[in-house]
Amino acid sequence: MQIDIGILKSKINTDNEELLKVLIEKYSFFDPNAKFSTAYKRHRWNGRKNFITANGIFPTGILPNILSDLKLIDCTPRLNYVYEQDKNQYILQSVDAFIYRDIQTDLLNNALKQKRGIINLPTGAGKTLIIAGLIKSLNKKTILITHSKSILTQTYEFLSECGIKDLGICYGEGYIHGNIMLCTSKSISKVLD
């Protein structure tokens, strides 16, 4: 078995169709909105959303989970990176006027080591401070997407307080260019060019 790892999508290459079927089933869920779909009503769709396609393609973000599941059955796939990996070692940078809590430091160091992941934290856990720490530590062009203009402006102000330079902002009424772009999901198309 081989897994071709891309930046956004990856692919499981195996001749074990049963194993692939089990993974597809495990990484699927019933869509609660299926009952409103014509295809579901006419019995042309079972109402399930699959994270893994019949061809073995899946979002790269769930790769650690898939590898963990494969390890349980003593399956160690060959990993083939189909993009140039970032070989840089990143060191956690402090953010002006703020001190990280221990859990934030651990999370930031792990994120910098893994170079990808999802950070899911409750309200008040310091997500914006963590974002500031990642931006300062990576020192790369960055796009940060929010769903509302109010969160966008709050984040912009906070990152400015943190001493992050070259900030840009993009929303319906305005656009200021920077290497660190903050955008609403509706205005992201202005930045991608």
Residue 40's pLDDT is: 93
Mean pLDDT in residue range 146-174: 88
Residue 120 has pLDDT above 90, yes or no: no
Residue 185's pLDDT is: 82
Residue 142's pLDDT is: 87
How many angstroms separate the Cα of 88 from the Cα of each of 91, 121, 132, 149?
A: 10, 27, 19, 34
Residue 174 has pLDDT above 90, yes or no: no
Residue 24 has pLDDT above 60, yes or no: yes
Mean pLDDT in residue range 92-102: 89
Residue 190's pLDDT is: 67
Residue 191 has pLDDT above 70, yes or no: no
More confident residue, 190 or 124: 124
Can you tell me which residue has the tokens 């956690």?
A: 92
Tokens standing for residue 176: 């200021």
Residue 86's pLDDT is: 76
Tokens standing for residue 148: 């509302």
Residue 176 has pLDDT above 60, yes or no: yes
Per the prediction, the chain carries an average pLDDT of 89
Confidence of residue 177 (pLDDT cuts 50, 70, 90): confident
Q: How far is the C-alpha of 99 from the C-alpha of 133, rounded, in Å?
A: 10
* pTM of full prediction above 0.75: no
Residue 96 has pLDDT above 90, yes or no: no
User: Are the C-beta atoms of residues 168 and 181 closer than 8 Å to each other?
Assistant: yes
User: Are the C-beta atoms of residues 60 and 8 closer than 8 Å to each other?
Assistant: yes
Residue 52's pLDDT is: 96
SS (H, E, C) the chain: CEEEECCCEEEEECCCHHHHHHHHHHCEEECCCHHHCHHHHCCCCCCEEECCCCCCEEEHHHHHHHHHHHHHCCCCCEEEECCCCCCCCCCCCCCCCCCCCHHHHHHHHHHHHHCCCCCCCCCCCCHHHHHHHHHHHHCCCEEEEECCHHHHHHHHHHHHHCCCCCEEEEECCEEECCCEEEEECCCHHHHHC
More confident residue, 82 or 85: 82
Q: How far is the C-alpha of 37 from the C-alpha of 47, rounded, in Å?
A: 8
Residue 65 has pLDDT above 90, yes or no: yes
Residue 192 has pLDDT above 70, yes or no: no
